[in-house]
Structure 1
Amino acid sequence: MTVPILHHYPVSPFAEKVRLILGYKQLAWKSVIIPMIMPKPDLTALTGGYRRTPVLQIGADVYCDTALICDVLEQLAPSPTLYPSATEGAARILAQWADSALFTTAMAWNFQPAGVADVFAGASQETIQAFVADRAAMRGGAPRMPVGDAAGSYRLYLQRLAGLLQTHDFLLGAQPCVADFAAYHPLWFTLERTPSVAGILQDTPAVLAWMARMKSLGHGSPQRCDAQAALQIAREASPAPWDAPNTQDHHGIALGSTVVVAADHFGQEPSQGELVAATPRHYTLRRTDPRAGTVHVHFPRLGFTLKKASP
């Protein structure tokens, strides 16, 4: 089995989501540390432009967005499952809420001045300003939620999570599911990365106990890998063969067309390539880069837009 490669950085909350899933499934994986802000030339050589963190690489196949990465890891290691059959629909919906509404609210709370001081302790003012400018660009200039609004919403969300934990150890049952990992990572950032503002968690001890159970899953078996080695692995591999009997075309765009895929919000840098798959759940682009060779770059349908490339 080809060892998966995770392109990430230590303080990324979405990367923590995937690191913990790798631990839950007890997988060996290679760890490539990428920059927190643009430019990210080694990463974008693989993706063609997509820059959000993390990205999962398996040989010459590159997977963008943690919702899709979760599905890929489930295929790679089906047990223990992220999607128990009795609760799969609810788990996916709850995970989507956690990755969007809960994450946005928690990070607005976390990045109040005291939290910023925690995250950037010892950093230069220039570094802080570069990070702020980078994230503002990722939001397309949209303002971050005011801290006062985040405070009330975050407390309410924590109370609702605590309500789900009244009768079992994890959000939807006795074992973790994808919703647990999605809900955990923004709270992990609060507790582990912005301790000065983590007192908000104290009013929900059931949530803190659940977080301890989640943390105990660990990160599996990571091995450091540099970006050049990851690019060489992609260059020397071939994308997994793809037969597309399940094509679902809602755009009037034929397979083989040159297209652009981009996130519909936050980090909308586009990736361009040849459309080789458009299934009910994902898109796949074939693209060639001098450093990465020919790769297939995969995106989920949900949260992403597809259009023909400009002539």
Structure 2
Amino acid sequence: MADLILHHYPNSPFAEKVRLILGHKQLAWKSVFIPMIMPKPDLTALTGGYRKTPVLQIGADIYCDTALICDVLEQIAPTPTLYPDAFKGAARIVAQWADSALFTAAMAWNFQPAGVAQVFAGAPAEGVQAFVADRAAMRGGAARMSSTDAAATYKSYLRRLANMLHGQDFLFGAQPCVADFAAYHPLWFTQERTPALAGILDATPDVKAWMARMKAIGHGASSPCRAEEALALARSATPVAAQDEVFQDEHGIALGSQVVIAADNFGLEPTEGELVAATRTRYTLRRTDERAGTVHVHFPRMGFTLKKVTA
């Protein structure tokens, strides 16, 4: 198998989710650091437009969104599993809640003035302003939850996690599953990146103890990789052919059509390409870039829209 290449940056909560899963599964991986804000020319050469963090590259196959990346890593290394049979559905539902509702409340809490001062300590004012403008553009004009509204919501969510952890080491028992990694990463940002605001965790000692267990998993074996090297690896590789994947048509759009895929609520930059697969859980586009060559860009169905390109 080709190297696992993670395109990310150190402060990204969603990247921390994947870094820990790589450590949990004891996978070796290459690390490409990308900018926190646009433009991201090396990344978008691979994705065709998608700009959210992280992105997983395996040769000429590019995987977008951590929900899909989790599934890919599970296929590569089935044990230890992220999806135990006894509560597979519940674990996915909690992970989806954590990646959306919990993340939104936690980050609104984290990015009040005291948190911003720590995240951007030493950065020029124009850098902070550029970050704020970039994230406002990613929201597509939608309002951000205020830190005051976030306070009560975040506290309630922490209590719910504490209830799940009572009497056990992880959210669903003795071993971590996908729900643990999804719930951990926004709390990680509070504790590790905005420690001035981490007192909100003190009322839930079971959560803090669980966080220590999650942190101890580590990131596995990573090695640095330059963006130019990752692009060259994509250019020299051939995308993996679809393995008898059943076409599931929900849109009346045939395989081979030129389509646009975009996230449905945050980070709305579109990716255009030829639809080469639409399965029960994912879409795959074929596209060609002069720097990356011909690649397959993969997206989960959930959270993304598919539209046919019209002349």
1:223 aligns with 2:192: no
Counterpart position of 1:252: 252
Counterpart position of 2:272: 272
Aligned-partner residue type, residue 31 of structure 2: S
Structure 1 residue 142 displacement after superposition: 1.2
TM value normalised by structure 2: 0.99
Higher mean displacement: 182-191 or 166-175? 166-175
Counterpart position of 2:294: 294
**Alignment of structure 1 residues 193-208 onto 2, 5 Å:** 193-208=193-208
Aligned-partner residue type, residue 259 of structure 2: V
Structure 1 residue 243 displacement after superposition: 3.6
How many Å separate the matches in 1 of 2:166 and 2:245? Answer: 44
Q: What stretches of structure 1 of length at least 5 have no aligned partner?
A: none
**Alignment of structure 1 residues 162-181 onto 2, 5 Å:** 162-181=162-181
Q: What stretches of structure 2 of length at least 5 have no aligned partner?
A: none
1:188 aligns with 2:188: yes
1:146-185 Cα offsets, whole Å, 9 max, x none, are: 1111000000000000000012100011100000000000
How many Å separate the matches in 2 of 1:173 and 1:294? Answer: 43
**Alignment of structure 1 residues 77-92 onto 2, 5 Å:** 77-92=77-92
Higher mean displacement: 239-248 or 258-267? 239-248
**Alignment of structure 1 residues 107-122 onto 2, 5 Å:** 107-122=107-122
Tell me, yes or no, if the aligned pair for 2:245 and 2:277 is still in contact at 8 Å: no
Give runs of ≥4 in structure 1 deviating > 6 Å. none
Higher mean displacement: 191-200 or 241-250? 241-250
Matched residue count? 311
Aligned-partner residue type, residue 137 of structure 1: A
Aligned-partner residue type, residue 210 of structure 2: W
How many Å separate the matches in 2 of 1:129 and 1:310? Answer: 37
Counterpart position of 2:156: 156
Aligned-partner residue type, residue 172 of structure 1: F
- DSSP-derived class of the 1:203 partner: coil
Counterpart position of 1:305: 305
How many Å separate the matches in 2 of 1:267 and 1:24? Answer: 28
Structure 1 residue 310 displacement after superposition: 2.9
- DSSP-derived class of the 1:35 partner: coil
- DSSP-derived class of the 2:62 partner: strand
Aligned-partner residue type, residue 284 of structure 2: T
How many Å separate the matches in 2 of 1:145 and 1:186? Answer: 15
How many Å separate the matches in 2 of 1:251 and 1:244? Answer: 20
Higher mean displacement: 90-99 or 135-144? 135-144
Aligned-partner residue type, residue 293 of structure 2: G
1:25 aligns with 2:25: yes
1:167-221 Cα offsets, whole Å, 9 max, x none, are: 2100011100000000000000000000111100000000000000000000000
How many Å separate the matches in 2 of 1:83 and 1:5? Answer: 23
Counterpart position of 1:4: 4
1:6-64 Cα offsets, whole Å, 9 max, x none, are: 00000000000000000000110000000000000000000000000000000000000
Cα RMSD of the aligned pairs, angstroms, is 0.6
How many Å separate the matches in 2 of 1:45 and 1:294? Answer: 11
Tell me, yes or no, if the aligned pair for 1:244 and 1:277 is still in contact at 8 Å: no
TM value normalised by structure 1: 0.99
